[in-house]
Chain A
Amino acid sequence: MKNQFLHFQRRASIWSLLLLSLLLVNCGTEDVDFIDPYEFVNEDFNDIPNLAEIEDADPVIIEPEVGSVDNSAETQAIIDDILNAGPDGEISQESRTKLAGVGAFTADLPASINERAQTLDAAGIASIMDESTPLDTDLEELSAALANAPEEIRMLLPRINFTVDLEGLRAVTNPNIKNQVLPGFDGFNLVSQTISNPCEEAAYEAYELRIEELIEQADANYFIIESNYARRLDETDVRYEERTGLQEERYAESKAEIIATLENLLLTAQQLENMGETELAAQLRELTLMYAVAARNALIEWDILVAELLVDFMEKEKAQALEIRERLTTQVNTDFETVEDMADARLTTAVNNCHNQGSGN
């Protein structure tokens, strides 16, 4: 009996240790699950105001006043006086006096100039008015003399009608667009921190969600500003091209009008010859030559001034577009920084609420 009992105990002992061994090795490991995370809802950022859509109205475009090269009214009066007088008519004393002044002025010029004036014809006028052909020595000398001619002579010649824009042209300091620093978006300095728990994560998620909305609104404003800026630059270039084309048309019209006046002067001189007024005819031909040279000079100077004026207007308009872009970009940046500061402050508060609220064993 005793042996049977001991035998049972031996077997029980062995099987117990075997069972203990089995518990150690009989199955694989198992992970420990956890309850579902708490679903945080953070509404701290909902009342941060949206960014208003930027108002970017186009500036008023003022066309440049380019002036003109006008025929001389006094010369036209002489032409009218002579042509209206008829073969037996009287020429006014005023016209005679003016032509006498021309004669006195040319008397001091080289004889070759007077000779050129007496042989001047339509082909000669066309040659002088061709700005691509340089003036010869005689005409250069005449041109220099005209620059210092007395007022009563200059009143008989075509002249530039200076506008305020043209007068002020040289006083303008053109903005140097190339050297300007363009405003830009360097990216927002968003809060970036290490998230250490679900509460903070919820706060950051709500923060980032609101900030993303605000960034989208800012981006939409930037898009308006940038697209308007690009459009205005394009429009400025187009306007410059259109104005340049118009100036070419104006130049051609003015030149044609002056050539017509010059041809009228030649006809009027011929009329004086027919009337027996040989001296007046010679003086009128001298005036015609002076008129042609003065007209050529005036047209060239005017065209250069207008070209400068058009470039000046183009640069001013581009500078204006740039100023609008810079001002509005700064406004959007400032508006965003304001709401971003609000969001940052609320994030800090939310995260602080998550922190240091007690944890541990």
Chain B
Amino acid sequence: MNKSIAFLLLAFGLFTYGAQAQIKLNNVGVGVSYWNRSYSDANEKYVLISSEADGDFTKGGVMPFISAELNLYRSFSLDGRVGLWTGDFSSEGRFGDLTISESIDQTLIPLSLGLTYNFNEILRDDFNFLVGVGVNRYFVQNKVSRTIEGGAGSEASETFSGNNYGAYLKAGLEYMLSDSFGLLLEGRYNTGFYTQSFRTSLDSELESEQISVRGFEIGLSLRYSFLKGTDDDDEAPVEFE
């Protein structure tokens, strides 16, 4: 997954300069959001010792992200985004004289690609509105450790990775600070899960549980638009070679 992220960052680095053509780069952006995972399904604590996996679950975290939007046809555009969400989960249990602590340091990278419809210059010239829907791919990395106080069995941090798909719906309102820069307030609802495999005892069969990642997200980003001040006539059509 690290290799994928490197490719991704490289790709977005190349977005830093806009261009217009038959397929035009609308904008690129950088921002931060608060993603609050909340549901009553199984969560990360399900596999931890002394966990209480049932009941309502809420886990929020600030997520930086970068984004880009490619115009497809008139007000329709292709929207891409990658973020970085982290969270810690821990649990402690007692067993006789033993105190057993387990923790998961989780890194969750939602990679999004979707369709956006832009309502430009609504109400006033400097306000744009957008709605969108798309696919998320969640890259999950869990660093798991176990500490046993009063006995043997501690385990140093061990990293496990996986991924799965989900979806999102979004809506946003952008205020244009200038011809090129805009401030976007955007809300999303993310769905999906990843599959956690585990064993309940050393000699038991491998079990799996779907860990949900559902939750609302609200974010603020600064976007640079390539649309203003660009003369379409100067641009040659994009050639695919």
Contacts and interface: CB of A to CB of B under 8 A. Distances in A.
Verify that A and B bind, or say they do not: yes
B144 A35 contact: yes
B49 A14 contact: no
Contact of B45 (A14, A36, A40, A359): A359
Interface residues on A, range: 35 or more
Contact of B153 (A38, A42, A354, A361): A38
A40 B50 CA distance: 13
A20 B69 CA distance: 12
B131 interface: no
Interface in A307-361: 350, 353-355, 357-361
A23 B111 contact: yes
Q: 7 closest pairs, A vs B, by CB?
A: A32-B162, A16-B11, A359-B91, A12-B14, A34-B198, A358-B92, A30-B162
B73 interface: no
Interface in B145-184: 146, 148, 153, 155, 158, 160-165
For this complex, into which size category does the number of interface residues on chain B fall?
35 or more
Interface of A: 3, 6-7, 9-17, 19-21, 23-24, 29-40, 42, 44, 196-199, 201-202, 350, 353-355, 357-361
A10 B162 contact: no
Nearest to A18: B11
A353 B113 contact: no
Interface string B9-32: 001101101110101010000000
Given A11-B241, A16-B68, A361-B59, A23 B50 contact: no
5 contacts: A13-B18, A32-B161, A34-B197, A350-B95, A359-B52
Given A20-B111, A354-B94, A357-B92, A13 B198 contact: no
Contact of B93 (A6, A29, A357): A357
A38 B94 CA distance: 12
Main secondary structure of the interface of B (DSSP, over half): strand
Contacts of A20: 8, 11, 80, 82, 111, 113
B235 A6 contact: yes
Contacts of B21: 10
A31 B208 contact: yes
A197 B93 contact: yes
A23 B137 contact: yes
Contacts of A353: 94-96
